Amino acid sequence: MMDIHQILKKLPHRYPFLLVDRVLEVEKGIRIKALKNVTINEQFFNGHFPHRPVMPGVLMVEALAQTAALLAFETLDITLDDSTVFYFAGIDGVRFKRPVEPGDQLTLEVTLDRMKAGIYKFKGKGFVGEELALEAELMCTMRKIA
């Protein structure tokens, strides 16, 4: 379990781009379960769409990626410093099954498939209640920056 204060220590993202509010469960090297509380106050709802606000799919995928990063950092027992970033290396098999709207709680479930040569492969799913909202396969890598 991780609250927002612990998440802020692990992830470099900040408002309006931090998309994980709480970690409910984590099994190092295996899986993680986190929450994103979706409110009408989200900046993106002003333009997506004013008449029918829906969370953009790319941001749902980003929420999965941030959750995956938390799993990687917990698994490796590290905290990123200012000279290290965790990047997307690939996204496959993305499917959106249900819109995510203000008032929804997006439950993010990510499993670690493989860590090899600095490349991390994850499978992620997002749920609203019991309904599948999205699924994706993610590849990420850590890199030092100048």
Round to whole Å and give the CA distance between 42 and 29. Answer: 32
Show the beta-strand stretches assigned E in 14-130: 22-27, 31-37, 84-96, 105-116, 119-128
Q: Which one from 5, 13, 48, 51 is the annotated catalytic residue?
A: 48
Round to whole Å and give the CA distance between 133 and 146. Answer: 38
Does 48 qualify as catalytic in the annotation?
Answer: yes
**Residues belonging to the active site:** 48
